[in-house]
Structure 1
Amino acid sequence: MTDAVNNPLLAPPSLPYDLPPYGSIDVEHYLPAFRAGFAAQRAEVDAITAQSDEPTFANTLVALERSGQVLDRVARTFYTVASADGTLAIQAVEEELAPLMSAHRDAIQLDADLFARIAAVHAQLDGLDLDAESRYLVERYHREMSLAGAGLDDAQKQKLTELNQRLSVLTTTFEKNLLADTNELAVVFDTADELDGLSDGELSAAAQAATSRGLDGRYVVNLTLYTGHPLLASLTNRESRRRLLEASRSRATRGNDNDNRAVLREIVCLRAERAEVLGYPSHAAAVLADQTAGSPDAARDLLRRLATPAAANARAEQEALQKIADVDGIRIEAHDWAFYTEKVRAERYDLDRAALRPWFEAERVLRDGVFFAAEKLYGIRMTERHDLQGYHPDVRVFEVHNADGSELGLFLLDLYTRDSKRGGAWMNSIVTQSALRGTAPIVVNNLNVNKPAPGTPTLLTLDEVTTLFHEFGHALHGLFATVTYPHFGGTAVYRDFVEFPSQVNEMWILWPEVLTNYARHIDTDEPLPADVVERLHASEAFNQGFATSEYLAASWIDQAWHGLSVDEASADIDVAAFEARALAGIGLDNPTVPTRYASTYFAHVFSGGYSAGYYSYIWSEVLDADTVEWFRENGGLTRENGDRFRQRLLGVGGSGDPLAAYRDFRGRDAEIQPLLERRGLAG
């Protein structure tokens, strides 16, 4: 099945925008296609290094950018499925593939002959007549290969390859264990009384989840990726709240086959060892050497600056919660926080966020909110393509056109949770735009919204509305990036910059023109009442002590693990004790405010791309908050503003220094004050 006749992954693309033919792809097609892709790119790179001509930009860098098209297509097709519909068969392929992919990547990144040619072009860079993007391509390849270890001796490279292959297996195992344990720990309730406080739609979703597991007549609440759970705010039964949070916090720590403690300890140790081989004192130092922050000290300084006021705000919030809980004779614990927060919110702002769901019907939020705001800002049009098939029946495909009618790309939406989908929400690209390759973008948004029973509308929480706008911000970044070289396509920017465009897109949720267009009652079509909107605005900084503290706690745990030296990481570390010491050291050890992710289910850093980089969200939010101020000062939701943001920031992709792009857009560097005010930390 390695030929194009028998393997659809190897056939020339035939669908619009090179959409993979998911309906024709079987699991057994993937590994042969990967092997063919590996062989093809290896031959292409060998042809670059074997030539006798002197290294030039064209015969080395451009040739390298043209290489690997088959592998890139196969990999993006597969990993889209692996994260969103990771059946046992797909997981088996991913486990076998992980060391193969790592070895192939290292074979190219550590190729001494290839690096020598790139270094030769880099050495004569100032004398070459290159445009800005081409010059930046040379600089980036030289730096990335240097940081990867291309300049090391053969023994060191062999060590790196062994470490990388083992790490690829471990991170895949971490994700597999987490998915399995998350599914096993979904909380089963016998009666509707145990779920008192939930809406009819939420109860319907829980009943549907139970039915899908063969538990007719019962109710199942699936866990979210993060520690808390949206339903904790509504459940009146304290024991139900306790069971839900306890299940969440126990993931991958139960001593069974899914326990991640030994896995993550080995990951930390091997990452530290790899950093040492590369000449860095820690994994964090190695990672942040090539981010906008520049060093762990810069990232940690920001976290420390925010932690003290955030913890103080959380304690003040806890005191307010306790006053109400005293009436019920309860001492506030972690599983009570969200429930009593809503009581305080109702008392202080006369606001019941759970009661807002009838105004947030998913289809209307999508079309009349998310898409509407993008059309107003950028002029794009979204048209559903029922003739095109995604990788799962729940996936919807939309064609995107520019204001002038020209084709832009495809947007896929995968809204609902399922046992084969990893937790959380994310965006990824199936195809990235590149003028060199002649490709247009295909981007995917994944969420984990509970699917109600057939015929029942999907009503979102305000948090889920926020997630939908956020992820579409990533999608816009992937759609708008307009580059020559695939190396810079889509969202291929520094990790601590990538969250910036998505966070900016959240600003339109409560923007009057957008809100009145999508927030309409499911039964009456009445807009969200103006006084409710005023109270939402008034409460924007409410509970930010908790929200900021739980986020900073997770960021600090990430930095603590990845700031360890080889000797420190090699010790027999007790995971829970290590977390406790780290949080006590920054004053975020309040037991009623658990970290947003504990280590054993911290997929962002132990199986995703955020290792030593979870600080990126708050780092990017400095830019985001400053940008929101710019939009407000310049008229808000206008095509002129949207075009400026698209052309000077989103459209750049990874083809230039992101902070230089920000200065080009804003006219200056970002200021932190808007962020402090947003999160109630200005005092």
Structure 2
Amino acid sequence: MTPVTVTLPEDHPLLSPSPLPLGLPDFAAVSDAELAAGLRHGMAEHRAEVEALLSSAEDPTFENTVRALELSGQLLRRVAPMFFTLVGSDGTDARQALAEELSPELAAHEDAILLDPRLAERVAAVDGAALTGEDARLLEHLRVRLELAGAHLAPAERDELRRLNGELATAKAAYTRRLVADTAARAVLVTGRERLAGLGADEVAAAAAAAAEAGHGDGDAEAGPWLLTLSLFTSQPWLADLADADLRRDVFDASVARGSEGEHETLSTAMRIVRLRLEKARLLGASCWAEHALKDRAAPSVAAVEELLGALAGPAMANARADAAVVAGDGADVAPWDWPYVAAEHAREAFAVDAGALRPHFELNRVLTEGVFAAATALYGLSFTERPELAPHLYRPGIRVWEVADEAGTVVGLFVGDFFARATKSGGAWMHTVRDKAEALGERPVVFCTMNVPSPAAGRPALLTLDETTTLFHEFGHVLHGLLAEGEYASLTGTAVPRDVVEFPSQVNEYWLREPSLLDAYARHVETGEPLPEGTLERLEAADLWGEGYRTVEYLGATIVDWAWHTVTEETVEEATADPAAFERHALEAAGIDPDLVPPRYGTGYFKHIFGNDYAAGYYSYIWAEVLDADAVEWFRENGGMTRENGRRFAAELLSRGDTRDLLESYRAFRGRDAELEPLLRRRGLLAD
């Protein structure tokens, strides 16, 4: 692909670093056209810097090659995170189309650098014998990156790889654009108020407001209409509360139909991605994409991942069947659209837990400040000061910014919270950075947490479900991984760890949600201020253990779908991609999962993690990392729980380290040994009696 040449005018807002604190991007000051021009100019500038590096007559050294490459391309590093923040969080049709146009250009730009044989030659010639610490790690990291990128290939093979990378970038952007559109288009419009029985007043008001935003009605909560929007998951949050069984089925059917047909169909794009990835893997010397992907991960082999999944799937499915038998009677089946509702009913009757009734105790701002932030203060000594004057510089009203400082009062970073759903936002929840910790550049992290909590009606508080509260704690674990990072180089700090262990710190952070002292502070009724009823925590834990089989199978189902698509080989790919629905079902049943009882958390048509992002052959990461998480949580329990001393150790040996040291080595330094599997099996209720 021939690079698009763009020269920026002297007054272009992106030519200089943002004057806002810590380089927070001034989204409000830049148009889409200026972002596109900035990206293209940044690529050209980066190529020129690398060309100067590669053309140098000096002998290659760490300083003039490895470190110089790491510190190059600063304009591109400023602009790309701005652009992709907007694509994910406020992805208008114009921005999605621009992403489809620019993604192959960015892929070609990366290829132009990594596949240049002069770079591989210079890096190979660097004498690393005397290097230590992060410098040695950076050299090792770059050599692996070049190998995985295909720098070793012959010229004709490199040309073929460039073609594949460009087509993959275009296809992934197209998949995301179509999925966002179809998720919005398939939201369920309700015209009869009686059909919403089971929903609370705030949920009904939010559904009316969503309908008005979509052009239906004026937002009157009593007159309607009401729009039940869809989250990224198969099983929608509405299903636990709706008493109307037909409406539950309508919502479920809309959810699983996403991407299957029509104007925004995604399946054909997903199959193209599968075929392209297989071609790329084979070109790079692997038999399938999963084999290639594992080359820079903690899991040692395809067989090791399959062994873990196989050890969990059978016992989890047995537990799910037992749970279904409890609520439906022996020999009866529970339809997947009914499971959340009947499970919630069972929890109310058997454990005196009413998830819907708990929502008024989880008001977003209080959960955030008295729960999430308070845990970070107790463990890591962090303090959070809101900076409302920075909010107008962001891309939508309602996004909030906090300055984060350590115990000495030194600012360590900025935290940005974008919590509410919008039609232009991709589904799900995620953390990302627009600046990373990098001592070599004098930079501190700017970290975003993005969620899809339904917007409350005007003047009403935002109430979270227990699942959304868990998600907030989870994503903030990623935030802490970014904020507490230490190190010279952005490519080694924070969450820049192997994909299959990046979820470890975030999953540990979920544990603090149920810390009794925190729960008493943040789980207060939004109107009365009353705490949760006595014994609620114990009942929640009992209810969780009862339903763990179903939740485990939901997760494993998605993992198996991902793994199946990315272990297809040259011999099996044509048959697999000819009928995606049949292939998905066969993969689940072969693993011992009944998708009619427990559908996977994501289906092929709406599995954005693997077809729109880079989690391909990586969704197993959550369970792989949970081995570490469950074992680490056991250590916290054994050593006094949420104390500053424990937090200091966890931060020093793990959170601050990023990829400056092998994460499993960091884990051993923290725990004193390797992680053991038994705590995970116990947590998931999968230990044999």
Q: TM-score band (shorter)?
A: over 0.9
Q: Secondary structure at the match of 2:443?
A: coil
Matched, 1:274 2:280: yes
Residues 599-614 of structure 1 correspond to what in structure 2 (within 5 A)? 599-614=604-619
Matched, 1:16 2:21: yes
Matched, 1:250 2:257: yes
CA distance in 2, matches of 1:433, 1:165: 30
Residues 547-586 of structure 1 correspond to what in structure 2 (within 5 A)? 547-571=551-575, 572-586=577-591
Number of residue pairs matched?
674
Residues 64-213 of structure 1 correspond to what in structure 2 (within 5 A)? 64-121=69-126, 124-126=127-129, 128=130, 130-213=131-214
**1:127-181 CA distance string (max 9 Å, x none):** x2x2211101111110111121101110000000000000000000000110010
Matched, 1:377 2:382: no
CA distance in 2, matches of 1:529, 1:486: 46
Q: Secondary structure at the match of 2:329?
A: helix
Matched, 1:653 2:655: no
CA distance in 2, matches of 1:86, 1:553: 29
**1:513-560 CA distance string (max 9 Å, x none):** 111110111111111122222211222312111100011011011111
CA distance in 1, matches of 2:595, 2:97: 40
**1:538-597 CA distance string (max 9 Å, x none):** 223121111000110110111111001134223452011001110111101240211110
Q: Give the corresponding residue for 2:3.
A: none
Matched, 1:490 2:494: yes
Q: Secondary structure at the match of 1:410?
A: strand
User: What is the deviation of 1:436?
Assistant: 0.6
User: What is the deviation of 1:125?
Assistant: 2.2
User: Is the CA contact (8 Å cut-off) linking 2:319 and 2:550 kept in structure 1?
Assistant: yes
User: Is the CA contact (8 Å cut-off) linking 2:91 and 2:424 kept in structure 1?
Assistant: yes
> Which letter maps to 1:439?
E
User: Is the CA contact (8 Å cut-off) linking 1:390 and 1:397 kept in structure 2?
Assistant: no
User: Is the CA contact (8 Å cut-off) linking 1:390 and 1:412 kept in structure 2?
Assistant: no
Residues 630-641 of structure 1 correspond to what in structure 2 (within 5 A)? 630-641=635-646
Matched, 1:365 2:367: yes
**1:302-361 CA distance string (max 9 Å, x none):** 00100000010010011012139x9xxx95211110100011111211111111011111
Q: Identify which range, 532-541 or 478-487, moves more after superposition.
A: 532-541
User: Is the CA contact (8 Å cut-off) linking 2:494 and 2:657 kept in structure 1?
Assistant: no
CA distance in 1, matches of 2:491, 2:115: 17
> Which letter maps to 1:334?
P
User: What is the deviation of 1:452?
Assistant: 1.2
CA distance in 2, matches of 1:644, 1:585: 43
Q: Secondary structure at the match of 2:656?
A: helix
User: Is the CA contact (8 Å cut-off) linking 1:360 and 1:521 kept in structure 2?
Assistant: yes
Q: Give the corresponding residue for 2:357.
A: 355
CA distance in 2, matches of 1:582, 1:282: 16
Matched, 1:530 2:534: yes
> Which letter maps to 1:140?
H
User: Is the CA contact (8 Å cut-off) linking 1:9 and 1:20 kept in structure 2?
Assistant: no
User: Is the CA contact (8 Å cut-off) linking 1:206 and 1:221 kept in structure 2?
Assistant: yes
Q: Secondary structure at the match of 1:540?
A: helix
**1:60-113 CA distance string (max 9 Å, x none):** 111011101110110011111110000112112111101100000111111110
CA distance in 2, matches of 1:100, 1:518: 47
Residues 107-506 of structure 1 correspond to what in structure 2 (within 5 A)? 107-121=112-126, 124-126=127-129, 128=130, 130-216=131-217, 217-254=224-261, 256-323=262-329, 332-388=334-390, 389-506=393-510
Q: Secondary structure at the match of 1:273?
A: helix
User: Is the CA contact (8 Å cut-off) linking 1:4 and 1:11 kept in structure 2?
Assistant: no
CA distance in 1, matches of 2:170, 2:8: 28
Q: Secondary structure at the match of 2:535?
A: helix
Q: Secondary structure at the match of 2:17?
A: coil
CA distance in 1, matches of 2:571, 2:681: 38
CA distance in 1, matches of 2:7, 2:301: 45
> Which letter maps to 2:583?
F
Q: Give the corresponding residue for 1:595.
A: 600
> Which letter maps to 1:236?
A
User: Is the CA contact (8 Å cut-off) linking 2:585 and 2:595 kept in structure 1?
Assistant: no
User: What is the deviation of 1:2?
Assistant: 4.3
> Which letter maps to 2:195?
E
Q: Give the corresponding residue for 1:643.
A: 648
User: What is the deviation of 1:22?
Assistant: 1.3
**1:238-279 CA distance string (max 9 Å, x none):** 00100000000000102x121111111111011000000000
CA distance in 2, matches of 1:589, 1:374: 40
CA distance in 2, matches of 1:11, 1:118: 31
Matched, 1:668 2:673: yes
> Which letter maps to 1:394?
G
CA distance in 1, matches of 2:676, 2:446: 34
User: Is the CA contact (8 Å cut-off) linking 1:284 and 1:562 kept in structure 2?
Assistant: yes
CA distance in 1, matches of 2:90, 2:12: 20
Q: Secondary structure at the match of 1:12?
A: coil
User: Is the CA contact (8 Å cut-off) linking 1:321 and 1:337 kept in structure 2?
Assistant: no
User: Is the CA contact (8 Å cut-off) linking 2:324 and 2:333 kept in structure 1?
Assistant: no
Structure 2 counterpart of 1:31, from 36, 43, 46: 36
> Which letter maps to 1:390?
L
User: What is the deviation of 1:4?
Assistant: 6.0
CA distance in 1, matches of 2:14, 2:547: 49
User: Is the CA contact (8 Å cut-off) linking 1:385 and 1:397 kept in structure 2?
Assistant: yes
Q: TM-score with structure 1 length normalisation?
A: 0.97
> Which letter maps to 1:152?
L
User: Is the CA contact (8 Å cut-off) linking 1:441 and 1:478 kept in structure 2?
Assistant: yes
CA distance in 1, matches of 2:370, 2:152: 53
Q: Mark the runs of 5 or more structure 2 residues left unpaired by the alignment.
A: 1-5, 218-223
User: Is the CA contact (8 Å cut-off) linking 1:432 and 1:478 kept in structure 2?
Assistant: yes
Identical amino acids, percent of aligned pairs:
46
User: What is the deviation of 1:214?
Assistant: 2.1
> Which letter maps to 2:408?
D
CA distance in 2, matches of 1:595, 1:666: 34
User: Is the CA contact (8 Å cut-off) linking 2:437 and 2:494 kept in structure 1?
Assistant: yes
Q: Secondary structure at the match of 1:483?
A: coil
> Which letter maps to 1:87?
T
**1:361-414 CA distance string (max 9 Å, x none):** 111001000001101111111111011132221210110001110011100000
Q: Secondary structure at the match of 2:184?
A: helix
CA distance in 1, matches of 2:267, 2:526: 46
CA distance in 2, matches of 1:92, 1:332: 42
User: What is the deviation of 1:512?
Assistant: 0.7
User: What is the deviation of 1:500?
Assistant: 0.5
CA distance in 1, matches of 2:440, 2:56: 22
CA distance in 1, matches of 2:10, 2:571: 53
